[in-house]
């Protein structure tokens, strides 16, 4: 459990995710008295708890099953109750299951398991748990999840998150995506498709009912409802960027090293290091292998950071936002400061391109497999909707949408797109626009109009 302290289990319909969660936790319930022998047994090995005496009631829970209300955890509770009874480890006299309120059971060794509602997160306090389950996690507010996390902190306990995708809150969807790669939260996500339940679907993924289900739902909804695969938000601007594009690569000796720059200050100043080379099949590869994504830093500050980078001596040229001519640091523009402080062999590329052309170029290059992003490029990945926010207020580069995630505007929101823009300046420099029938509108031509 050390490596998977916070597993996030996403189940398809009828997949048996509740039983899986219970199967993870029950061995810990049984093992606890032997890990803390003195607490549960006397020196001569007799149990301190007399499960036959109704008047003796252990007070504090050791394990809990949380849910959005008291109703949801009851399924997991009853599965665990059945397992403990079958093993002869359930203290029948100490099981409480009222129609409303928390349920509670005790093992013959004195381990207490209870259900807790997260309807009022503020009420979750004054307990220290060895471990717990969060049932129907996607239906819980994040404030409740923060409370649950605090309840296992003192004992370094674990939390098994379990739920479905459809109708879930944003934090749960984000976690399921983040949990497929290393992350700071320590989450590891698992998917249990519907067809793993061979009792319901003996043919597995090719079971006739599953095949019909896929055709009826369509691919995207089927992946969420049955395959239990969380999809990045549909309102992302660059939906073509996927998990497969995130990995490390060896940089060849003959690769060209370029910078992609989008000046900023209060929101973010983005600089991407990119290695470019030709693959054996003749296609180009653009490997964005490092990034500076900083707030409240001047151009001179950023240049100082770049010059300390081990690949700085190999940087030949840079692509920079044409607006850097007007983005001023004190008396000089950002572009002027870059040109004064950095004598790059091939200089700085700056040309006006419409945002739609930049988006098309990014989408096309990701779709064709020409882009790889190193996990160190945290700002770029967060903008693509594939990583954790770098700053508290940050979100993916997205289209305007309603509360259900439906896109309501064709024009992207012009926020949190700094590294994405820097990347498309460089790609447009190297590859040009996707639609080659239309000539790019340069800054000088635009001014003449």
- Residues 339 and 303: their CA atoms lie apart, in Å, by 11
- What's the confidence (pLDDT) of residue 252? 96
Q: What distance in Å separates the CA atoms of residue 287 and residue 365, rounded to the nearest whole number?
A: 12
Q: What stretch of H or E contains 112?
A: strand 112-117
Based on the number of CB atoms within 10 Å of its own CB, is 432 exposed (0-12), middle (13-18) or buried (19 or more)?
middle
pLDDT for res 184: 80
In residues, how long is the chain?
A: 449
pLDDT in tens, 304-342: 999 999 999 999 999 999 887 765 565 789 999 999 999
State in Å, rounded, how far the first CA of the chain is from the last one.
65
Domains of the chain by residue range: 6-192, 244-448
Domain 244-448 class, CATH top level: alpha beta
Euclidean distance between CA atoms 138 and 165, whole angstroms: 7
With contact defined as beta carbons under 8 Å apart, do 18 and 75 qualify? yes
**Res 328: pLDDT:** 59
Distance CA 402, CA 278 (A): 42
Residue-level pLDDT at 447: 42
Calpha distance 409→393 (Å, rounded): 21
- Segments in the chain below pLDDT 70: 1-3, 231-233, 326-330, 403-406, 435-449
The answer to pTM > 0.95 is no
Three-state secondary-structure class, residue 195 = helix
- Name the E strands within 32-176: 63-67, 104-106, 112-117, 131-134, 158-163
Burial class (CB in 10 A: 0-12, 13-18, 19+), 284: middle
The per-residue pLDDT for 327 is 57
Torsion from C-alpha of 331, 335, 336, 338, nearest 10 degrees: 110
* Chain-centre distance for alpha carbon 397: 15
pLDDT at 405: 59
Is the domain defined by 6-192 classed in CATH 3.30.750.24?
no
């Amino acid at each position: 459990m050390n490596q998977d302290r916070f597993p996030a289990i996403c189940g398809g319909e009828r997949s048996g995710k509740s039983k899986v969660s219970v199967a993870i936790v029950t061995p810990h319930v049984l093992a606890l008295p032997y890990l803390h022998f003195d607490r549960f047994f006397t020196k001569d090995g007799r149990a301190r708890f007399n499960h036959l005496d109704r008047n003796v009631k252990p007070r504090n829970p050791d394990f809990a099953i949380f849910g959005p209300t008291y109703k949801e955890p009851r399924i997991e509770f009853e599965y665990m109750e059945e397992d403990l009874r079958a093993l002869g480890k359930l203290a029948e006299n100490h099981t409480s299951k009222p129609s409303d309120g928390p349920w509670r059971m005790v093992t013959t060794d004195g381990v207490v398991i209870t259900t807790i509602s997260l309807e009022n997160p503020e009420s979750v306090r004054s307990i220290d748990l060895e471990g717990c389950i969060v049932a129907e996690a996607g239906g819980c507010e994040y404030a409740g999840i923060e409370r649950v996390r605090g309840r296992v902190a003192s004992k370094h306990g674990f939390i098994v998150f379990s739920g479905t995708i459809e109708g879930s809150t944003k934090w749960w969807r984000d976690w399921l995506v983040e949990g497929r790669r290393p992350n700071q939260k320590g989450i590891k996500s698992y998917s249990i498709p519907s067809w793993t339940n061979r009792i319901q679907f003996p043919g597995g993924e090719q079971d006739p009912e599953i095949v019909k289900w896929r055709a009826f739902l369509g691919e995207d909804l089927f992946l969420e409802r049955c395959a239990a695969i969380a999809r990045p938000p549909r309102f992302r601007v660059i939906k073509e960027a996927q998990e497969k594009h995130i990995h490390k690569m060896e940089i060849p000796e003959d690769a060209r090293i370029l910078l992609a720059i989008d000046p900023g200050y209060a929101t973010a100043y983005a600089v991407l290091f990119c290695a470019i080379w030709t693959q054996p099949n003749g296609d180009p590869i653009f490997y964005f292998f490092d990034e500076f994504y900083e707030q409240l830093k001047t151009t001179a500050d950023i240049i100082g950071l770049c010059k300390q980078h081990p690949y700085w001596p190999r940087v030949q040229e840079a692509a920079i936002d044409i607006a850097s001519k007007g983005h001023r640091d004190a008396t000089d523009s950002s572009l002027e400061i870059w040109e004064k402080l950095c004598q790059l062999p091939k200089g700085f590329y700056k040309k006006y391109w419409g945002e739609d052309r930049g988006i098309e170029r990014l989408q096309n290059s990701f779709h064709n497999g020409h882009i790889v992003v190193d996990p160190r490029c945290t700002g770029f990945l967060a903008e693509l909707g594939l990583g954790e926010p770098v700053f508290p207020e940050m979100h993916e580069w997205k289209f305007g949408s309603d509360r259900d995630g439906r896109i309501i505007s064709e024009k992207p929101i012009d926020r949190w797109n700094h590294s994405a823009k820097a990347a498309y300046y460089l790609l447009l420099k190297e590859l040009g626009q996707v639609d080659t029938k239309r000539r790019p509108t340069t800054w000088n031509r635009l001014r003449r109009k």
